Structure 1
Amino acid sequence: MNTLSHSARPSRASRVSRTLIALASLGVSALAASHALAQTQTIAITPSADATIYSASNGIDEAANGGGSQLFSGWTTRFGERRALLKFDLAGLIPPQATITSAQLTINVNRSIAEGNEFNLHRVTAPWNEGPSIAEGPEGNGAEPLNGDVTWNFRQYNIAPALRVPWSTPGGEFAPVASTSSNISFASTYTFGPSAQLATDVTGWLTNPASNNGWIIIADNPFFSGSAKRFASRSNAASQERPTLTITYTTCNDVDFNNDEIFPDDRDVIDFFDVLAGGACPACDSIDFNGDGVFPDDRDVTTFFNVLAGGPCE
Structure 2
Amino acid sequence: MSLEDLNMNRNTATHLGRQRMLILIMAVAGLCPLQACNSSGGAGSNTPTPSPPLGDRFERVDVQADADAVIYETGDVANGQGQQLLVSARPSDPTRRTVIHFSVDQALPEGALIAGSRLCFSVSQALEATISIELHRIVKAWNEGPTAASGNERSGVMASSGDVTWFHTGTGAWESWETPGGDFAVDADSVQQVTETAGRVCLENSGGDGNMNTTVQSWVNSPEENFGWILLSPDTGSYALRGFYSSNSVDPSMRPVLELTYSRG
Q: TM-score higher than 0.5 here?
A: yes
Matches within 5 A, 1:262-277: none
- CA-to-partner distance for each residue in 1:191-210, whole Å, 9 max, x for gaps? 11145611101000000001
> Within 2, Cα distance between the matches of 1:151 and 1:100?
32
The counterpart of 2:66, out of the listed 48, 54, 69, is 48
> Within 2, Cα distance between the matches of 1:147 and 1:211?
24
Structure 1 runs (4+) greater than 3 angstroms displaced: 22-26, 76-79
The counterpart of 2:230, out of the listed 216, 237, 257, is 216
Corresponding letter in the other structure for 2:220: L
Indicate the SS of the match to 2:218.
Answer: helix
TM-score (norm 2): 0.74
Aligned-pair CA distance for 1:152: 0.2
Give the structure with the larger strand fraction: 2
What is aligned with 1:173? 183
Indicate the SS of the match to 1:201.
Answer: helix
Do 2:142 and 2:171's aligned partners in 1 also have CA atoms closer than 8 Å? no
Corresponding letter in the other structure for 1:120: E
> Within 2, Cα distance between the matches of 1:117 and 1:184?
5
The counterpart of 2:98, out of the listed 84, 109, 112, is 84
- CA-to-partner distance for each residue in 1:26-55, whole Å, 9 max, x for gaps? 9xxxxxxxx9x9741100111010000000
Aligned-pair CA distance for 1:240: 1.0
What is aligned with 1:155? 169
What is aligned with 2:89? 75
Give the CA RMSD over aligned residues.
Answer: 2.4
Using the TM superposition, name which of 210-219 and 68-77 deviates more.
68-77
What is aligned with 2:27? none
Do 2:120 and 2:257's aligned partners in 1 also have CA atoms closer than 8 Å? yes
TM-score (norm 1): 0.63
Answering whether residue 198 of structure 2 is matched by residue 187 of structure 1, we say: yes
Aligned-pair CA distance for 1:188: 2.7
Indicate the SS of the match to 1:205.
Answer: helix
What is aligned with 2:256? 243
Inter-CA distance 124–110: structure 2 relative to 1 (3 Å threshold): same
> Within 2, Cα distance between the matches of 1:25 and 1:43?
44
Inter-CA distance 77–242: structure 2 relative to 1 (3 Å threshold): farther
The counterpart of 1:230, out of the listed 230, 243, 251, is 243
Structure 2's unaligned 5+ residue stretches are 6-30, 32-51
Inter-CA distance 212–23: structure 2 relative to 1 (3 Å threshold): farther
> Within 1, Cα distance between the matches of 2:160 and 2:171?
7
What is aligned with 1:273? none
Aligned length, in residue pairs = 213
Do 2:72 and 2:95's aligned partners in 1 also have CA atoms closer than 8 Å? yes
Answering whether residue 111 of structure 2 is matched by residue 97 of structure 1, we say: yes
Corresponding letter in the other structure for 1:139: E
> Within 1, Cα distance between the matches of 2:112 and 2:139?
23
Paired-residue identity, %: 29
Aligned-pair CA distance for 1:246: 0.2
Structure 1's unaligned 5+ residue stretches are 1-21, 27-34, 252-312
- CA-to-partner distance for each residue in 1:241-282, whole Å, 9 max, x for gaps? 11110000001xxxxxxxxxxxxxxxxxxxxxxxxxxxxxxx
Aligned-pair CA distance for 1:78: 5.8
What is aligned with 1:122? 136
Indicate the SS of the match to 1:190.
Answer: strand
- CA-to-partner distance for each residue in 1:57-98, whole Å, 9 max, x for gaps? xxxx41100011101011268641000011001233212211
